[in-house]
A and B are shown apart, each in its own frame.
Chain A
Amino acid sequence: MTESRFINFALPPWLSAGPAMAVLLFFLAAPLCIVAAYSLMEADPHGGVRAAFSSEAYVRFLFERDWDGNLALDGSYAAIFARSFLLAAAATALCLLAAFPAAYCIAGQPPERRGLLLLLITIPFWANLLVRTYCWVLILRDSGLANTWLSALGVIASPLPLMYTDGAILAGLAYSYLPFMALPIYAALEKTDWRLMEAARDLYAGWWQTLFRIAVPLARGGIAAGCIMVFIPSLGAFIAPDLLGGGRKLMIGSLIQLQFSSSRNWPFGSAAAFVLLAAVLLVLWLWLRRGGAQKAQW
């Protein structure tokens, strides 16, 4: 931030920044408040809510109410949350493993070639997520390419059940958010001084040591930013669990969507949305508090 600023914009803030704020307040903040309120109301079995206070929606995460109204511990929703965290973490790890060497390699190229290689990562980054996930349906379903080719090679006799598995969701998530990992790592490595790596090699560090003691620490900010940018959307993902996990393997995102469509339990869906939002904001807050945004050099 500069101390003095050239002021040539005479519109008062309420007229300039005001309209955007009004739109965001009215169409984003207010809806979120309504979701918070709905999560504390009773469900109307026909959809919507009844105006009566109830903490039932939050109780449902851990307990199941039987016909007599007694609470019994029920782990099925907790399991969906746990699965979402595990799948998001696994997708993050896979993306990191896949993207770091590529980002390192691209950052080390001469500048003119870097532009093209970077553009090739940016195109899938902006390509339609639904379509990109649908590509995996073509590959993984029973009559899909993977099964066709494997049986043509004689590796398998009958089609492997690849779809509707955690593995399919994981592949879809990792594929969806791979560019989100590669770009920040590249941005961090692009600014590093390659002579540091060369000096390490000259001083008889093995490439393994050079990688983990020089290159990785230098790219730490980019790695953290990439992990955040993969983990957060993976945690709330809807498309990958819906298309590749079917109705059988839910994640938080598909659980929420279900409550507002076929299950018609708006309070429970609202509560789940709030828990997801809280988890995401917590992760972001921890990252920002440690100066993550500055370290990523953006």
Chain B
Amino acid sequence: MVTGAGQAAKMPGFAAWTGVFYAFLYAPIVILVVFSFNAGRSATVWTEFSFAWYARAFANKSIQQAAANSLIVAFSATAAATFLALLAALALTRGRRFRGAGACHLAILAPLMIPEIVTAVATLVFFSAIGLRLGLFNVFIAHTVFCIPFAFLPIWARLQDMNETLECAARDLYADAWQTFRRVTLPLAAPGIAAGAMLAFIISLDDFVITLMVADAGSTTLPVYIYGMVRMGTSPEINAVSTVLLAASATVAVASHFAARRARK
């Protein structure tokens, strides 16, 4: 197996360039995080270390409301999208072959191919055309739609990779279809389901463009609230909230990385 490049395959300057690459990737984030702990108002001149802006952000009622909205939408959209994606993935990998399966697969991936701004205005126009004004519920529907492919892909990949012999054996040993599903398929597919759910959760938590168009005044999520603050001018409070949001998605990203690694072993 390939265990890395030998000395001869190394290119001059590439290692240094890789250092620059990572610096470029992280420097702006580090700047944001560092200045979120700055006591002064300035986001450019360092005065002293302080949690003051975090305290202010956490005490801000609008931020609390926006954070609560974000979490409600993220949890409910993740649950709905993962459930729909799991059923569809099972139909496409374990169910009887059916006409239109290819089209079905393509349709599930469609939200990935359509530019976000197009989905955003289409959803806005649709809700206004049918007169659906249910506040946070509208946001939940919009999020469920674009979370479906993100939940689907890891589940589908896992079901494809799973060796079917265990499921066959269970059936041979007189387990019925439901028992086989419940005791064999589901536990084996669990890492894929977890990975899909985590992806859907981050995607929902981070979504801005679609929520901006769909959410009304009472159902603002955290990214939309941050955008509103940025439009009013920069303040260290934004840095503090943004850092919290970054920390949340980084945590889920790292967790899903290690879960995936464990699943492969």
Residues of A at the B interface (CB closer than 8 Å) are 5-11, 13, 15-17, 19-21, 23-25, 27-32, 34-35, 38, 48, 98-99, 101-102, 104-111, 115, 119-132, 134-139, 141, 143-145, 148, 175, 178-179, 182, 190-195, 197-198, 201-202, 207, 210-211, 215, 232-233, 235-236, 238-239, 243, 252-253, 256-257, 260, 266, 269-270, 273-274, 276-277, 280-281, 284
Report chain A residues within 8 Å CB of B114.
28, 32, 277, 280
One of A13, A19, A119 near B84 (C-beta < 8 A):
A19
- With A10-B177, A194-B2 as contacts: A34 and B126 at CB distance below 8 Å: yes
16 contacts across the A-B interface (CB closer than 8 A): A17-B98, A27-B145, A28-B145, A111-B4, A122-B257, A128-B223, A134-B230, A139-B31, A143-B44, A175-B24, A182-B21, A211-B11, A236-B117, A238-B117, A257-B212, A260-B121
CB distance from A169 to the nearest CB of B (A): 15
CB atoms of A145 and B31 under 8 A apart:
yes
Docked pose: A34 CA to B118 CA in angstroms: 12
Per a CB cutoff under 8 Å, which of B28, B90, B230 touches A132? B28
- Quick check: B115 and A128 within 8 Å, CB to CB? no
**Residue on A with the closest CB to B30?**
A135
Give the top 7 A-B pairs by smallest Cβ distance, nearest first: A108-B5, A236-B115, A31-B126, A135-B28, A16-B91, A31-B122, A197-B9
- Please state if A124 and B18 are interface contacts (CB–CB under 8 Å): no
Whole-angstrom distance between the Cβ of A283 and the nearest chain B Cβ? 10
Chain B 11-44 against A: per-residue CB contact (8 Å), 1 yes, 0 no? 1111101100110111011011001000000111
With A16-B91, A122-B257 as known contacts, state yes or no: A128 contacts B245, CB within 8 Å: yes
Which of B's residues lie within 8 Å of A, judged by CB?
2-6, 8-15, 17-18, 21-22, 24-26, 28-29, 31-32, 35, 42-45, 84-85, 87-88, 90-98, 101, 104, 107-108, 110-111, 113-126, 128-129, 141-142, 144-145, 148, 152, 164, 167-168, 171, 177, 180-181, 185, 202, 205-206, 208-209, 212-213, 223, 226-227, 230, 234, 238-239, 242, 245-246, 249-250, 252-254, 257, 261
Q: Is the pair B22, A120 in contact by a Cβ cutoff of 8 Å?
A: yes
Residues of A within 8 A of B118 (CB): 32, 35, 236, 256, 273-274, 276-277
CB-defined contacts of B209 to chain A, threshold 8 Å: 238-239, 257
- Taking A108-B9, A197-B8, A198-B6 as contacts, is the C-beta distance between A19 and B87 under 8 angstroms? yes
Contact status B25-A124, CB under 8 Å: yes
Q: Which residues of B contact A136 (CB under 8 A)?
A: 28
Which residues of chain B come closer than 8 Å to A6, judged between CB atoms?
Answer: 94, 164, 167-168
Q: A8-B94, A23-B84, A144-B44 are in contact. Are A257 and B117 (CB under 8 A)?
A: yes
How far is it, in angstroms, between the C-alpha of A201 and the C-alpha of B12 when the chains are bound? 13
Closest beta carbon of chain B to A214's beta carbon, Å: 9
A238 to B141, CA, bound (A): 22
Q: In the complex the two chains form, what is the Cα distance from A105 to B97 in whole Å?
A: 44
Please, which residues of chain B bring their CB within 8 A of the CB of A38? 125
The residue that A102 contacts in the complex, of B18, B120, B239, with Cβ under 8 A, is B18
